[in-house]
Each structure stands twice: as C-alpha cells, then as structure tokens.
Amino acid sequence: MISLLHAFCALDIADIADMEGRDLSEVAELYYTLNAHLGIDHLLTAISGLDAAERWTSLARLALRNDVYGAMRLLCVDVLSGSCSAESAVEKIADWENTNAARLVRARAILAETFTVTPTSIAALTVAAHQIHTMVRQLRPA
C-alpha cells in the first residue's frame, strides 16, 4: 500500500520542481521527508482503510485523498519558497516550522490526536485532512 501511495505523488513532485525551478531530487527528498514528518502516509493509509462498500464512503475516501495530496503539494511549495537549494530537506522543514511555529501548533496537535484514535473514523480523517489544509491556508494568503 505504501509504495502505491508514493507513486501517486510522482507527478506532483515533477510539477513542483518545474514550477519552482528546483532539481527533481531536491523536491522529491523534501516531499518525502515532509510527508514522513507530518505523518501523511499514516493519514493516507487510514483513508484507504475506510470501508468502501458504500458509495458515499467511497466518494468521501477519494475526496479526502485528493485533498491531502493537494495540501501536501502546497505545503511543499511553501517550504521550498523560504529555502535555498543547499539546505537539506530536514533543514528546510525546520526553518519553515520555526518561521510558522505559532500557526502550526493547533494543526499539529489535532493531527497527533487523530493518529491516536483507533479505529479511525471518517469524521476523524476529515478533521485531519482539514488541519493539513488549514496549514496551507494560514501560510498562503488567499
């Protein structure tokens, strides 16, 4: 399952590298490091684990998955925008978190709480996906 989840973001990584004028390997390293740092794989795996037998749950899974990938794309761009290519992915993320610490506290706390709930409900996963979007909205003015 995890390898499939990573395959879905390959086009996003290539697109981000092109948009931001960055090396593909730099963007891929940042994307996967940020993914692991925020626990996005855990969230995507939980979303995939929702019962898809019912049509609306299946559509909700798809919508949540798309929201999370879209948010990851924007978060990756945000982290890149405040960094230089010479920094490691870990350094880029640390700088981004330091710059945005006050804005990230609530979102990180809710994400961490969501990951402790088992079994994970669609309601909890919706809140977690929303928190990732909240990070994006707060960091990127409309």
Residue 4 — pLDDT band, cuts 50, 70, 90?
A: low
Q: What is the pLDDT of residue 3?
A: 55
Which tops the pLDDT comparison, 100 or 17? 17
Q: What is the mean pLDDT of residues 103-130?
A: 82
Rounded to whole angstroms, the Cα distance separating 58 from 137 reads 26
Residue 76 in contact with residue 140, Cβ under 8 Å?
Answer: no
Domain total of the chain: 1
The reply to whether omega before 141 is within 30° of 0 (cis) is no
Q: What is the pLDDT of residue 51?
A: 81
Helix axes 89-99, 55-81, angle to 10 degrees: 90
Sign, CA torsion 128/130/132/134: negative
CB within 8 A of 37, min separation 6: which ones? 93
Note the pLDDT tens digit of each residue in 57-77: 889 899 999 999 999 999 999
Note the pLDDT tens digit of each residue in 118-130: 767 888 888 888 8
The predicted model scores a pTM of 0.84
How far is the CA of 141 from the CAs of 23, 55, 137, in angstroms? 26, 35, 6
Domain that holds residue 41: 2-139
